[in-house]
Structure 1
């Protein structure tokens, strides 16, 4: 006999079914902070008749040491009651914020999603479910508006983005908390939600109440409707730009002694006959394809090059990208890398970083920073995902960071022989868009580690190890589309 769902649970079930967020027997990582949103999310997913396999993940940001133990205890009790495995990950938000010169909010978000992705990859799960709701969506509109965003950003968070799903996105905070009260499920309150140092909290506690009292009491619904219109129009522009991209852009793949590279050519006449809104999207897409982070200024410069630039004029962009006008064509390419005096060779993925010593190394092409640190074997701390450890005495500086070469192989720790890295990526379900630039660490052209995933068997830590090389990474703060 089927268990009857609560009305709130039924609403979420309908959203999941209508938008194809989950399938029968899916394996889902659920982000659980102990707050009402994530507690309700875990409760609802557990109640659905989809036979989901769930793992709850609590990420300790090391920001509230007085509150965190109680939150963890409450989350452990909830998971034990539901029969759901709980994984706890610890991240150092302040360290990342200081090192990358980003806000505490951005650093926490980056590390949180990184931790969730690591647990998902470790267990070969299908989706990551997070508890964002309609009130979060409204607050996010103002955050993106104040920081500067185009229509894609102002359209708000998506129900599904890659492997991340947001089943509660159409529900209000009030409805979520009422559901928990009806089911007598306790939740924790994060004291930092009242800290007005954070922009989101100033929007939540100051700006929105002021607008509701003095301008429009229904501003939340008004904005949600507006965001829906923006989203639909943004989808239309995206479809238009996809068609235009196919008409005026050519992609060229080059092979040279088993090395592959991409170059792109843009037909200026076919490009300029379209509206600026379409042109911007085309240029942004080209930049991302060429592993170069775009900006408003960069897009404007390339568009101006198409309109008024002289043949032969060249722009130098991030990631080593060269943008050159030749008659009525704009060419995007990465020139062959030259030696650095340390035997640097051309890479099919167009970036090579020489690692001379321990420290932090930013890889814009992979949108992450690699951290290499030494640990004494007798005082090594428990391993934290996505941290890897190798025997430091089995490698020798300088090391190299680069993307994977076609056909490249390694022998995984405790693995059964050599394996192609491409096949390993398939097994780990690494996003195909990330594979070309995902970094590997090498010593004298031999693989030491696939960052965040695996080490080479030959450099593993053993009983005789005295010095350990710790390899970890943090992803760059996620950026929304410029337009």
Structure 2
């Protein structure tokens, strides 16, 4: 029978989690799991030629108990001669501000802090103390939320520079090891409360499943997760070339080409969507959200469906766009004669010219217009539902929404379309079409040249 240390070493080797001369930032709460992890890495520091740095986050949730955890961590690291970074955050305030649960807020703050400190300390890896029992809870939570195969894969042993060396052992093995070695650790009293979803899963559901069905539940579900991950790795290998066609932007979201849905098997389409959604920060991937996106290719251009966490999916002309919902912050911008204004990265200028200087060109960023009835300042804003104008060359009134649709613009181009206005009248659908009422004629006395580059 392998010892706990041997099991961890074999898992690290099998998953290729640690390399020689790694500098590892270790998430250290002072609880049993992180105490085991830090003690283990310290014991085998020479074997791997490691440099270790610990990081402790005080969540400001448990008052004196949290402060006691912080003091314990300082002393523990001092005894092991391991440098430690201590940080304190108001998780409750962050959760309220961002409409997150305390669990979600704590996780978001932790990983952001870990990434910042790892970069500052030039660490090659970030190690967290997740183990098989954590994987059981995560797997059950994911399945109950309908997250599909990717949720059934549980906690990954490695994601980017984050490693989880303890996924090969259980919580009971960790606690037993520490007690046998007489290594002290802190107990978080909030773990006994069943107010949090994960605590309820751990203290009620998992406890009963182990007692009534299988005491080796953690090991069996971890094996199941590993099998699912193997299948997903195989599927991802087949779909890799298709995944490359998805355009990702860390700040805004992603674009999935509609070609990836045409004539493809339903499960192929679902995997494409799941791969896109899983990369959107803070977006929970569920069967419901995948199915909502799956409906869009069959809908008309402009169709939109709201996902969780302030994200939406949009049926564009050639893409399904998954993006964060943006609050409208574009104000009205006023512009005087002979002035230049910068708007959305473009420079708009208005200058008076003589008839001799008019040059008819195919350029869409320049227009000459009659200034006889202009009242300065003119102003620029985004188009709105209900806006109408008389397109140049036509005598009929047309809705801006219909005009932009006829141009077959992308949803993003359509949403960001700017207008130049004279009081309440549209003068120019910028870089698209002049209003017929402001076209230069033989009777025009004053002419303005407008340019937007």
TM-score range, shorter chain: 0.5 to 0.7
1:314 deviation in Å?
4.8
> Partner residue of 2:261?
271
Deviation (angstroms), 1:17: 2.4
Where do 1:176-215 residues align within 5 Å?
Answer: 176-215=174-213
Deviations 1:272-295 (A, max 9, x none): 332212112223445688999687
1:266 and 1:166 map into 2 onto residues whose CA distance is 37
Q: Normalising by structure 1, report the TM-score.
A: 0.59
Paired position in structure 2 for 1:413: none
Whether the aligned pair in 1 keeps the contact of 2:29 and 2:69 (CA below 8 Å) is yes
Counterpart of 1:219 in structure 2 is: 217
Q: For the residues of structure 2 that align with 1:70 and 1:173, how far apart are their CA atoms?
A: 23
Residue 240 of structure 1 contacts residue 278 of structure 1 at CA under 8 Å; is this kept in 2?
no
CA-CA distance at 1:150 after TM superposition:
1.6
Aligned to 2:63, the other structure's residue is in SS state: coil
Separation in 1, partners of 2:70, 2:49: 26
Which consecutive residues of structure 2, in runs of 5 or more, have no partner in the other structure?
Answer: 334-340, 347-453
Q: State the match for 1:323 in structure 2.
A: 315
Deviation at 1:204, TM superposition (A): 1.6
Aligned residues: 325
Map of 1:439 onto structure 2: none
Instruction: Report if aligned partners of 1:315, 1:322 keep a CA contact under 8 Å in 2.
Output: yes
SS at match of 1:282: helix
Structure 1 gap ranges (5+):
1-5, 254-260, 349-483
Distance verdict in 2 for CA 1:37–1:262, change over 3 Å: closer
The residue aligned with 2:15 is 19
1:300-333 deviation line (CA, Å, top 9, x unaligned): 4553343x445x56548777975334xxx55759
CA distance in 1, matches of 2:312, 2:214: 49
Structure 2 vs 1, CA of residues 300 and 212 (structure 1 numbering), >3 Å: closer, same or farther?
closer
Q: Distance in 2 between matches of 1:289 and 1:140?
A: 18
Distance in 2 (alpha carbons) for counterparts of 1:250 and 1:156 = 24
| 8 A contact 1:323–1:333 mirrored in 2 | no
CA distance in 1, matches of 2:222, 2:320: 41
Q: 1:290 and 1:65 mapped to 2: Cα distance? A: 34
Counterpart among 92, 107, 110 of residue 109 in structure 1: 107
1:132, distance to aligned residue in structure 2 (A): 0.7
1:414-462 C-alpha deviation (Å, 9 max, x unpaired): xxxxxxxxxxxxxxxxxxxxxxxxxxxxxxxxxxxxxxxxxxxxxxxxx
Q: Determine the structure 2 residue equivalent to 1:32.
A: 28
Residue 455 of structure 1 corresponds to which residue in structure 2? none
| Contact 1:29 1:54 survives alignment (8 Å) | yes
Query: Do the aligned residues in 1 keep the contact of 2:128 with 2:162 (CA within 8 Å)?
Result: yes
What pairs up with 1:377-396 in 2 under 5 angstroms? none
TM-score, normalised with respect to structure 2 = 0.63
CA separation of 1:88/1:291 partners in 2, compared to 1, >3 Å: closer, same or farther? closer
Distance of 1:123 and 1:224 partners within structure 2: 33
